[in-house]
Structure 1
Amino acid sequence: MVSAIRSIAILLVIFTVCAHGKPGYGPGEQDWGYVDVRPGAHMFYWLYYTTANVSTYTQRPLVIWLQGGPGASSTGYGNFEELGPVDLYGDHRNWTWVKDMNVLFIDNPVGTGYSYVDNSAYLTATNKEIAMDLVELMKGFYARHPEFETVPLHIFSESYGGKMAPEFALELHYAKKRDEIKSNLVSVALGDPWTSPIHSVLSWAPFLLELGIVDHDGYDAIMKAANFTAELVEQERWIQATEQWGNTQMEVMKASKGVDFYNVLKLTKGDRFKKLMIQTSEERMYRTMVKHDFDEDHDQIAEDLMRGPVAETLGIPSHVKWNSQSAKVFNIHNTDFMKPVIHIVNELLDKTPLKVGVFSGGLDLICATPGTVNWIDKLNWTRRNEYLDAPRNAISVNRVLEGYEKSGGNLTMFWINRSGHMAPADNPAAMSHVLRKLTNYG
């Protein structure tokens, strides 16, 4: 009897050790690994178990973070520059989401961050392919962590992630209905989203004019380029539309003398404008959507961290170099880059019980708030009037006005004050409200 009890105790200890994570890079328990989403396509995830004072981490929800690009790394940018437990310099972040919930960073599409493909033929080229790979990733994740199958799941995203997340959520929902996967998916949140690219592009000129960043001549030049982009989108000439988006970006740079696309009030270094002007259109587009920062020193710090101490700590295979395939990822999606996914958001709102959130920083240019509001007005679902008729309320945190929100049906829009494109880092107080609204924690 004693021997049997001792054996059970040993098994419980083993189970507890296996069920929990392990020391990783930074504080708290973590887990990470690869899921082969297709032959030749290897997707990387990095899980941070919550550090909340709970008896078991499954008492708190699981939040997925998807970066943009396509080709920007969640494990790098989202983790170390926005919401993970430590920043690029190893300093602890007091607003990390990990203190309230479990956070799963996924490097996607394959070829992004630590994810990699055996050769370029295995890269995705469409949003649907990205979504299906993410569903396969979650099948592999749940197989290793079945304790999370019943834990509320929330998908958060940023920028181009605002195109990937809706279709991922929709395909995960349908896979669940087909009994292909067990998951407790509750909500999807689109942060400063590239959900309808042309609405973002058309908002650049009026937004910059209102702020006094360009004059009427600059407005006219940007608007002319943006309207041509819109014509190409209307004609479904997608590759040309992507190229013209790059030309419109150039007009913004010239008229504004190098305004920061991620925060219009951010300090612009004197030599940045000159560097941008000598780059090719393809280089500028890649730097804007994937690199996230035009400060080369800053970029180097991130690359040194991810290819050095982090890769060593996580035991990343030696042949994998963080973000080494990201330029190919970005370029191969040029046929899909300017396509909207408004119809996918409509389907989420009409055909699923999921909560859909959209949050937008008021100082963001690349996915400017006016453009986001305009594509939301184009949504057409059965409870549309509930949203249109709903009041717009203030977001107040510790007696400070942090933004506004509007809810109707299963859609909520959040306007984030004092924030650019990276809302979790720019205004963590406002984002804590968004988290509480969508996950009940934060």
Structure 2
Amino acid sequence: MFKFFFTVISLIIFLSHGQVHARKGYGNYEQEWDYVTVRPNAQMFWWLHYVNPLNSSTNGNFSVYEKPLLIWLQGGPGASSTGYGNFEELGPIDLDGNQRNHTWINDYNVLFIDNPIGSGFSHAESFSAYAKTNLEIAEDLLECIRNFYYKLPEFIDVPTYITAESYGGKMAAEFALLWFKEQKEKKIESNLKGVALGDSWISPIDSVISWAPFLLNTGMIDIRGYDLIQKSIEATKLAVEQERWQEATNLWGRTENVIMEIVNNIDFYNILEKKKPNDYFDIRDELLDKLMNSDVKEALGLNVTWGEQSSRVFSILSGDFMKPAVHIVERLLNETNLEIFVFTGQLDLIVATPGTLAWVEALKWHGKKKWETSERKTVVVDNIIEGYVKEYSNFKMYWINRSGHMVPADNPSAMKQILKHLTKG
């Protein structure tokens, strides 16, 4: 994998306008990274990518601290923000080593956090160091951000937004609520402004319930397939209703397997992606693992094996996996003034749009009736309809066309509009 380098002139321009003392890590842009001991034996890793003023439409005539800070949290639980989010979706360099023209760092400072403990380069030095609940994950993240501000106090006043995908959204919601309370009580100096929940695992059972109708209506299965999948869904639903959480997670996995057998493999993250029959192996996962444990690890001077503990993270959180976080989103709407965004890709199966809409419509909050009657508007970019948006007060929902689970990668034009709306331009 080749590396890129600034010219001397470019570096002088960046430092004079950006006013930062960053390090050179992997690629031709300014970065900073560090570990935080969030609890005994629990090491959380963060990797900051400063906004690149040379690629900005403002031609570098600003300080980097004039641009918002976006925090990216990956899903799983156990997937890596520094790996998947960075190289597969929105970072400056893609997995093939090419510079990404729609990278978020063209317009924002981006902080990738490997979370929960055990994801990516974050690691646990004992079994007790792993987070067991969503609240513990949020507490770890808050401790991480405290340390981030301690190391880089210039960001304390910078408008900050948590952005997340999949299970990362479940973690982000609780993190945002906890952070807002600490900020309001002046227990942390910061400028948290909002949270964006992308294809998020907020109401797991609503997502699962949507699978059979979604597959039937898109022509992926017939009535016989629908009945077989629905039978497995009903068993999962009953386990959730009876709060048999570990069993519910097992039944969720079984339902996915039933779907895979009936359709002879499908991409749960984008139903239109081409898949080979009975091929469950993703070659790009192997490429990412190789990249992170060679060039990236060397460039950042790390001695931890990236992804080594990821599967353990999921196993430890399996009893928490199917628990909903809808009540957390309700509290965000009722108890905070944060911007709350929800966005969903129309081709996503794992967190299908009908399931997301089900829990959104059921939210209990002060603006519910006015949100329901609000006009649903088109999102148009370069005369193309990229999706739709509905909003009232501080709550916004985006439906994204031509996108699966990974909206930043699948429809970067729509994602750019979402971020512009979130950060108020």
What TM-score does the superposition give when structure 2 sets the normalisation length? Answer: 0.93
Contact 1:26 1:90 in 2 (8 A): no
Secondary structure at the counterpart of residue 112 of structure 2: strand
The one of 117, 120, 145 equivalent to 2:124 is 117
Q: Distance in 1 between matches of 2:214 and 2:65?
A: 44
Q: Distance in 2 between matches of 1:35 and 1:325?
A: 17
* Count of aligned residue pairs for this structure pair: 405
1:309 corresponds in structure 2 to 295
In the TM superposition, residue 15 of structure 1 has moved relative to its aligned partner by 12
1:285 corresponds in structure 2 to none
1:150 corresponds in structure 2 to 157
1:337 corresponds in structure 2 to 321
2:26 corresponds in structure 1 to 25
**2:417 paired with 1:438:** no
Moved more, 79-88 or 247-256: 247-256
2:194 corresponds in structure 1 to 187
Q: Distance in 2 between matches of 1:45 and 1:242?
A: 29
Structure 1, residues 77-104: CA drift from partner, whole Å, max 9, x if none?
0000000000012100000000001000
Could you say what the CA RMSD is over the residues aligned between the two structures, in angstroms? 1.5
Secondary structure at the counterpart of residue 287 of structure 2: helix
Query: Which runs of structure 2 are paired with 1:131-210 in the superposition (5 Å)?
Result: 131-210=138-217
In the TM superposition, residue 179 of structure 1 has moved relative to its aligned partner by 2.0
Query: What letter matches 1:204 in structure 2?
Result: W
In the TM superposition, residue 432 of structure 1 has moved relative to its aligned partner by 0.7
Q: Distance in 2 between matches of 1:336 and 1:374?
A: 21
Contact 1:19 1:145 in 2 (8 A): no
Secondary structure at the counterpart of residue 257 of structure 2: helix
Query: Which runs of structure 2 are paired with 1:229-248 in the superposition (5 Å)?
Result: 229-248=236-255
Query: What letter matches 2:229 in structure 1?
Result: I
Structure 1, residues 178-205: CA drift from partner, whole Å, max 9, x if none?
3221110111000011110000000000
1:211 corresponds in structure 2 to 218
Query: What letter matches 1:69 in structure 2?
Result: G
In the TM superposition, residue 362 of structure 1 has moved relative to its aligned partner by 0.3
Residues 1:18 and 1:50: Cα distance change in structure 2 (over 3 Å): closer
Contact 2:379 2:388 in 1 (8 A): yes
Q: Distance in 2 between matches of 1:17 and 1:229?
A: 52
Secondary structure at the counterpart of residue 188 of structure 1: strand
**2:337 paired with 1:386:** no
Q: Which has the higher helix share?
A: 1
Query: What letter matches 2:289 in structure 1?
Result: E
In the TM superposition, residue 177 of structure 1 has moved relative to its aligned partner by 2.2
Secondary structure at the counterpart of residue 165 of structure 2: strand
- Percent identical pairs in the alignment equals 51
2:36 corresponds in structure 1 to 35
Structure 1, residues 96-147: CA drift from partner, whole Å, max 9, x if none?
0000010000000011000011112210010000000000000000001111
Residues 1:392 and 1:17: Cα distance change in structure 2 (over 3 Å): closer
**2:413 paired with 1:425:** no
Q: Distance in 1 between matches of 2:19 and 2:310?
A: 33
Contact 2:17 2:64 in 1 (8 A): no
1:290 corresponds in structure 2 to none
Q: Which runs of 5+ in 2 are unaligned?
A: 1-14, 54-59
In the TM superposition, residue 74 of structure 1 has moved relative to its aligned partner by 0.1
Query: Which runs of structure 2 are paired with 1:226-375 in the superposition (5 Å)?
Result: 226-272=233-279, 276=280, 294-295=281-282, 297-317=283-303, 320-375=304-359
In the TM superposition, residue 250 of structure 1 has moved relative to its aligned partner by 1.2
Secondary structure at the counterpart of residue 344 of structure 2: strand
Secondary structure at the counterpart of residue 29 of structure 2: strand
Secondary structure at the counterpart of residue 399 of structure 2: strand
Structure 1, residues 132-183: CA drift from partner, whole Å, max 9, x if none?
0000000000001111111000000000011000000000011112322111
Secondary structure at the counterpart of residue 27 of structure 1: coil
2:11 corresponds in structure 1 to none
Residues 1:56 and 1:248: Cα distance change in structure 2 (over 3 Å): same
